[in-house]
Structures are given as C-alpha cells and as structure tokens.
Structure 1
C-alpha cells in the first residue's frame, strides 16, 4: 500500500486554512512541509514507538502523519505536564519522546530493548500497520491503555476523497478518540479545525462567533453547563449548524432544553469509545435519544451492547482484554432496542443493585435536572447492610440553599415519578467541578 496517500491528500488542499490555535493559523501547506521535514528526520525509524506531547499545530500534526507513513505506533498526549508524561513513558517503553508544543520540537531517543515492549506492539508491527495508543478517561477507575490500528481507523478516508470545507471546533483534544477523529476528519476532508484551549461556555461561544464555526463536537456535560450559563444568548451563533454529542449518556431534559434554546441547530448523537473508534450513526430525529449504528455489526446480549468492527482495539497494554470475544467487543453499555434503533441507558459498571433491582443512574439524573436549583447531579450506589446498596445523589448547586429543605423537596419530587427503590436516600451538596478534564462526569463506583 502506498502510505503517502495521506500526505498527498493534505497537500491537495494547498493554502487553505487547516488549524486555528489561539492567534496562530496553520495552512495545509504548512502541515505538508512539516510532514516532509519529519520524514527526513533519521530519528524517526520505521515501526518505532513515539510519544508525542503536543497541541494542534503543524509540528505535532506533521509528526503524526509521518508516523503513519513509517508504520510507527504513536501515543498522542495533549499538553501533558512532566509527571503525566513520565507515567506514560513507564507504561509504553517508547523509542522516542517528542515535545511538539512549539515550532521547534524537542526529542529524546531511548535505547529500548525490543523485548521490553508490550507484545501487542509486535503484533501490529507484523501486520505492517501503524498503531494508535489512547488512554480511557478513567471516569470509572484506573485509565486503560488501548492499542488501535491507525490504518483501520483511517481506511474510510482513504476510500472516499470528499471535501466539505466546514469550520469545526476542536473541543476534544487528540488524546481523546473523539478529538483524534475530528482532527483527522478535518485534515483529510479539507475542513478547518479551531482549537478550543479555553473551554468555558463563554469562551466556546465567543470562538463560534469569531471563527464562524459550523460544527461543535462536545459532551452532554458541557452542553448542560452551556444551558446553565446561557452564553448562547450573548453571542452570535448563527453559523452553527450541528452540535454532535457523545461519550456519555445525554439526559432527555438537557436534550429538550437544548432543542428549545437552539432550534435551528441539528443535534446529532454520535457513538464511539476509545476501544472502538467513532462509528457512523443516524439519529431517529433531532431531539431523540434513539440512534442507529451504521457500517458495523452489533448485537444485544443480556441488555449489553456488543459490536463487531474492523476498527476495534487489538487490546489493552495494562490489563487483560476480556471485552473481546471472537472479534466481538463488549462495550459495557446497557441499551434497549426499538427496531433498528438503540437507546443508551448507561454503563454496566455504574448500575446500582438495590435488593436485586437494577437502577440506572442516568434515569435519576435526568429527573433531577428538572429541579431548578439542581445544576447537575451524579447518582451512585452507597453501601447498605440491608439492601446491599441504596441510591445516593451528589447534587451540584451554584447558590445557597437550605439543604434540609432541599433533601425533602427532592425526595418528594422523586416520589411522584420513581419506584420506591429508585428514590435517593442519601444526599450530598457540592459547589466543586463535577467533571473530568474531558468534560465527562467522574463516576463513583
């Protein structure tokens, strides 16, 4: 296979604007030149393992493209501090570490014995494919190191050469499967990527107005923050045509409010995970939580979604890959079916077992959002000597309230809509941030 198709594609977009990072603007030509420079760099050996600590700039992107062409395995980090980088180095045993956060890269070569590297690296080298290592968010425990085939992830772009010339927000960074997918989509279809280094609702809305952004890929947690902040009312968002959301369950209340707030914007639910890549989907309608997974086989066993796709991971570097069974990947997502469509109910790992009854936190969280002073919530299981678990709720507020009265009000409110075993029995009220760096809820297990 001629692997330079990827640099040829980028080069075909010429002087068009590829990336906006703060005050810096990068053209596709600049990325082409950066790729060529990296290809001439003798320290980038074929099939080597490269940790890239970078940002959305020509230096970082050029190295990623060079690594693909040379069948390397890349570990993309987005602006990590030294402590985080050291943790990654200990796990992947790379040949090269490149700090590409400025125009001048700083690289360190390691004399890493081949037999000290994970066995999965040797497997992908044997396939003559480029690899991508991503880390799970760690929202339910220790982050997992996941090895994907970059060849498989980019195959759809190799087959279809279409230009769309949109401006897309880089809300998620390239150390996240969603952010990496958006970056590659922009590079290989001629879109402009606007990096969102400041991700408050006000900053994001100002960037949409300034750069006339058309597509905002983000998370339900951020969209809920946007609705609370109402920055969309203070900025001109007329250029925005699509909001794509995923990576966690979308509360129905949030989706309805978003549809009311931005009626002209198409709301598109995506489906992807670090272990799988991002799959093409089709929503039933704009304000529906039902979606159809396309171009991949799926099945539902005991309420859990399994997917068979060429883009599925080879495995984990730091744990056994029990999720893979005869090329089928257990997603860990609990779903219900309606014909060709599915609806995500929540993660299997977060389901609360109350005296044998299953409670889905997302259902309770969606209900709690209907209470005006509840800005967001996290529902989790608290140990009980009688029922095994009881439903507990961490309530995020941004105002002073009488917590005793609030607990009674919330309990009474829940009694009107929920079975007794689903009603929260324990409450805690917080003002602290309730999300991770990837704008996902940090679950309690």
Structure 2
C-alpha cells in the first residue's frame, strides 16, 4: 500500500537534490500569494472608485502590451546577463510597485490613475522576470527530475491561486485595501530576501547585449523545431478556442445559480491541484508530446461538457476536469522545453512562451464574447470546446514529431542531457581542485 501511494504522490526528488530549487519554490509560493492578493484587491478598488465594468476591464488592455513587449525583451535579457540578477531586480521592482498601491490606498481620497500605472508596471516586471525564472529551472534541476519539478511548480502556483484570492477577499472585506496591499508588500520583501540567497546564474553563451537580432535567433530556432512549434500551437489553439472564464457570470445566470459563480472560477484550480497531488506517475512518462496533445484535447472536451450539461454540479465537475487537462498539457510543454532547449537560448524561447501564454487567453476572451453574441452563452462554451478538440486533432496529425516525442530518444533531449551531465562533472572537478 505504501509503495502504491508513493507512486502517485508528487515526486519530491528536485526538492531534495537542489538547494536553489527549494529556494525558488518557497520564494515563488510566497510571491504568488502576494501577487494574487493584489490581483483581487486592485480590480475591486477600481470598481469602488468608478462603478464601471469598463474601467475594470480596461486593466486587461493596460497589462497586455507591456507583457508582450517586455516578455520578448526579458527572454533576450535572460540569455545575456546573470538570471539571478534579473529575478532579484524584478522582484524588488514588484515590491516597490506594491508599496505605491499601499501609499495610494492610505490617501484620504485614493487616485485612480496610479492603479493603471502599477498594473502596467507589474505586467512589465512579470514579462522581464518569467523568462529568467523559467530558463533557470533546467540549470538547477537534474535532467531526469525535470518532470517532477514541473509538477511541483504547478502545485505551488495552484496553491497561491486558491489561497491568495480567498484570503484577499476576506482582508479587503474586513480590513480594507490598505491591509491587502501591505500583505503584498510583506510577501515581496520576504521573496527578495530569499532571492538574495540564490546561486549566481551567469549566461552560457557569452554576454552579448539583448537585441532584436537575438530575439529573431530564438524565433528561428523555435520555428526549426517541429516539437517546440507544436507545443506553442496546441496551447494557443486551446486558449483561443476554449477559454471560458469570461462567460462564467452569464452561464451562472442562465442556469439560475448565481451562487455558483465563485465555484466556477475555482473549479479549474481545484482540478489542477488534485492532479498535482497525484502527479508521481508523470515522472515515469517519456512521451511528453502525447501528454501535451491529450491534455489539451481533454481540456476542450471538458469545456464542451461544461457548456452542454444543465446540472450546475456537472458543469463544475467538467470545469475541474478541464483544469486537470490544462495542467497535464502544461506539464508536458514545460518538460519538453526544459529537456530540449540549449541553455544559451532558453531565455529567448521562454520569452516566446510568454507571448503565447499572454495572447491566447486574451484572444480567447474576445472569441468567447463574440461567439456568445451569435450563438448564446451555452453555444459559445460547448462550441469552443468542440472546436478545440478538432484543432488539437488536426495539429497532432500535422505535427507527428510532437506526438512521437520520446525523452530517451529525441536528439535535442539527448544533447541537452549530455551537456548537463558534462557541466555537472566539470563543476565537481573544479570543487575537488579547490579542496
């Protein structure tokens, strides 16, 4: 019984083997909690100041462009400078931005414009930081532990996504926006202290300045690798065609269950957490491309079910399965990226991933709202899910190397594994020489 339980529980080997992984995991959990606290408090404050749904929705438009621009630049930056410095500087920048929100909230009459400025600034900082964070993982975790590290990082994100908004709602309701922002400042202050303890992570391919030419080099590499290209395409199709959260308020009203709105938003995270807590088996998977395809198809099928069923409980169950499918696909994508991309290009490829990650959901919301105007809410939800399944099937047929990817035989994965083993052996030799 013990061995069977151990086989499905999360694989903790990255936590045991890497000090920097432990630091980043803990830092990330604290930072996510602070970020999600502010993500709830900020739109609520805009709502209170303006009473306008448009003013709240405009925050998404303010955030999108900085995320795209700085995400691409951040990818080039992560390949050109010490990644630890990028992470530390951006984490400190987010702490300063959170402090601006706190000061503004404490004014007798809080101002509206600083909220948009901070939202754009946070988006820019996130765009700069995420490539450095994502590209660092393959350097600090052994090659065979990358699937386990992806599962543990997903669990960390989901815990923050559930706990942060839940606590923020209570804090704002009973203690006000100032206390919520003070919580965020405190979280980022602790996060900065943890980042200071990370090992240096200098660039592998020299120290050329970030440039458009460097970004184009990363794009050419991605375009030349059908497996990588497939991961981006599948994720973009899933989010573009079957991203339903923007329709949840209308779906809850049509079902006569406005009380279920919050549960609809939480259901996807709950499904993802359940998969994360039973993710031990993913460390034994070698066909990660197939995992990407099946996870994305499962996401689309579950979203279709959420739009089709009349029972609110079945809808919630479908949304939980959708969250699990999305996480399964995400684990496959993350593992492929970390197993195959050369370290000197990893930052730029992570920047391209930020672009895919940000554009898909934004366009997906537009697709959902437009389609709902033609077909109604339910039709837009289940129709988008069906379209997602069809698109993923077509992409799988068009990109057979993605489906057949095997971590033990793929040439890029084998080169990356050999490079990491060589770097590890060299580090051990240098350590023995110093002793």
TM-score using structure 1 length: 0.24
Q: Write 1 or 2 for the structure with the bigger share of helix.
A: 2
Judging by fraction of residues, say which structure has more strand: 1
TM-score after normalising by structure 2: 0.24
Q: Which has the higher contact order (CA 8 A, sep 6+)?
A: 2
Larger radius of gyration: 1
